[in-house]
Amino acid sequence: MAKINTAVLQKMKQQAEKITMLTAYDASFAKLFAEQGVEILLVGDSLGMVLQGHSDTLPVTINDIAYHTRSVRAGAADAFVIADMPFMSYGTLEQTLQNVMPLMQAGANMVKLEGGEFLLPTIKALTERGVPVCGHLGLTPQSVHVFGGFKVQGKSNEQADSILTQAQALQAAGIQLLVLECIPTALAKRITDALTIPVIGIGAGNVTDGQVLVMHDIMGISSGYIPKFSKNYLQQTGEIRSAISTFVSEVKSGIFPAAEHSFN
């Protein structure tokens, strides 16, 4: 696999080649995922749930993300690695600039921040200083207490228009990739068509430029509730490497996600 960077991802969108992304938190899985052709590894703050056992992502710290980013980078020297900025680590511009350093120095190629409008100056400041930014809209789990649970977002016309407007504003501010989580497929299609940057979906239908899942969901080992948009590829294949290569090929061919993994 050619080494991935923002220019390669941009080209994949233009050529309509689907982008695959998985969360990874350690060196062994990072290496295995990279070997199976997964283009992007995400050190997600979902680690607060699947590794640490919390019921949401809020307890995760910068040190947690930096530690796991170092591990992922150690296992996959050439991988394109995105590190999540955890809850309240980008509350102010000053905090953001302080907190982004350990993540980039741990080996991240890009950082991901949840939210819309309020992030515009932050995104500009980061990209100007050499830090590529991934946006994250829709169900942004750090706002679970505002939403009153992990609920599908953008169901009303008004909410849908607002998410599209925010996606366009984030792109204008400088994000080079966008994650859309748990929104209706029709809205994901509008946003993917409207943006020139690649859009990665999770619970956003098969219309985005790529797909991301939490690795524990692919292997059916998440504790507690397993989201409707995930698929247990280990059960289907019986072997971890085959599970990952099947995920990759099903995303590439558009088989995954099917209607049953999507919201309307």
Ligand X SMILES: CC(C)C(=O)C(=O)O
Ligand Y SMILES: Nc1nc(=O)c2c([nH]1)NC[C@@H]1CN(c3ccc(C(=O)N[C@@H](CCC(=O)O)C(=O)O)cc3)CN21
**CA-CA distance, 64 to 86, in Å (whole number)?**
9
Residue 227 touches which member of ligand X, ligand Y, Mg ion, none, C-beta under 5-8 Å by kind: ligand Y
227 touches ligand Y by CB under 6 A: yes
Taken in order 136, 141, 144, 148, is the CA torsion positive or negative?
Answer: positive
Q: For residue 35, indicate whether it is catalytic.
A: no
34 touches ligand Y by CB under 6 A: no
**CA-CA distance, 201 to 205, in Å (whole number)?**
7
Which class for 14: exposed (0-12), middle (13-18), buried (19 or more C-beta within 10 A)? exposed
**CA-CA distance, 112 to 196, in Å (whole number)?**
18
Of the candidate spans 39-47, 90-98, 142-150, 159-167, the one that interacts with ligand X by CB under 6 A turns out to be 39-47
Of the candidate spans 2-10, 45-53, 235-243, 250-258, the one that interacts with ligand Y by CB under 6 A turns out to be 45-53
Taken in order 73, 45, 39, 137, is the CA torsion positive or negative?
Answer: negative
Q: Which of residues 49-78 bind ligand X (CB under 6 A)?
A: none
46 touches ligand Y by CB under 6 A: yes
Instruction: Write down the least CB distance from residue 84 to ligand X, Å.
Output: 5
212 touches ligand X by CB under 6 A: yes
> Ramachandran region of residue 179, left (φ > 0), alpha (ψ -120 to 50) or beta?
beta
179 touches ligand X by CB under 6 A: yes
String marking each residue 167-186 x if it binds ligand Y according to CB under 6 A? ---------------x----
* Residue of closest CB approach to ligand X: 44
Task: Tell me, by CB under 6 A, how many residues bind ligand X.
Answer: 11
Instruction: Write down the least CB distance from residue 148 to ligand Y, Å.
Output: 10
Q: Rg for the chain (alpha carbons), in Å?
A: 17
**CA-CA distance, 224 to 243, in Å (whole number)?**
21
| List of residues contacting ligand Y (CB under 6 A) | 46, 49-50, 57, 139, 141, 150-152, 182, 214, 216-217, 222, 225, 227-229
